[in-house]
């Protein structure tokens, strides 16, 4: 069995590109599709440069279960990775892909998770709370924001002098270093 991954992304796509490059020569795991909810997301340009098919699915189209599931089935997708995807995943997708949708959160869940907690919002909250560490959490996706079972966490120190930009930089390094490995470990258990 070959794992065919769809990456869902809403923004620049640096994580999506990093993941695609990591799996570029993998015989068991392939990045087959990049889906964005924004027509101007730079991740679409990255997909083009990487030679990966991309599709724009507007938030209103995500409600169309038949359309979305048909698209994923037509592309033989059996695993979904959220990499900076800002929409809530509909329950029909979660039920069709049990333990096969993963997300990365830029903090150590359960702290600093939930609706509205993404990107710089998270890093600002970490600094304002005077946390001594932050990091990443890779987790399965369930019906609630950032509440799925944790797969992997990695930590970085937060210094008293750190700005939210400093924390963001440290967290991005952890994302690039660990997210592809965490995805791979889950996928290999499915084969």
**Residue 128 Cα to chain centre, angstroms:** 25
Q: Active site residue: 25, 96, 105, 181, which one? A: 105
Q: Which letter does DSSP use for residue 59 in this model?
A: T
Taking each helix axis from N to C end, the angle separating 164-190 and 119-128, rounded to the nearest 10 degrees, works out to 120
Rounded to whole angstroms, the Cα distance separating 31 from 34 reads 8
- Residue with tokens 């083009």, as numbered in its chain: 48
Contact by Cβ (8 Å): 87, 59: yes
Rounded to whole angstroms, the Cα distance separating 78 from 10 reads 20
Backbone angles phi and psi of 189, in degrees to 5? -70, -20
Q: Assess whether 105 carries a catalytic annotation.
A: yes
Rounded to whole angstroms, the Cα distance separating 135 from 98 reads 26
Catalytic residue numbers read 105
């Amino acid at each position: 069995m070959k794992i065919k991954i769809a990456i869902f992304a809403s923004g620049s796509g640096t994580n999506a590109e990093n993941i695609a490059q990591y799996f570029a020569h993998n015989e068991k795991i392939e990045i087959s599709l990049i889906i964005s909810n924004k027509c101007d997301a730079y991740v679409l340009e990255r997909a083009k440069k990487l030679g990966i098919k991309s599709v724009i699915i507007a938030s209103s189209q995500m409600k169309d279960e038949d359309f979305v599931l048909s698209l994923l089935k037509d592309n033989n997708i059996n695993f979904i990775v959220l990499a900076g995807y800002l929409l809530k995943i509909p329950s029909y997708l979660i039920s069709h892909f049990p333990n096969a949708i993963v997300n990365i959160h830029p903090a150590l869940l359960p702290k600093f998770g939930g609706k509205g907690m993404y990107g710089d919002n998270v890093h600002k909250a970490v600094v304002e709370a005077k946390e001594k560490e932050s990091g990443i959490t890779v987790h399965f996706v369930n019906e609630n924001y950032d509440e799925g079972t944790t797969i992997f966490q990695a930590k970085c120190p937060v210094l008293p002098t750190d700005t939210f930009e400093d924390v963001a930089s440290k967290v991005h390094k952890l994302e690039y270093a660990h997210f592809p490995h965490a995805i791979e470990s889950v996928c290999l258990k499915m084969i």
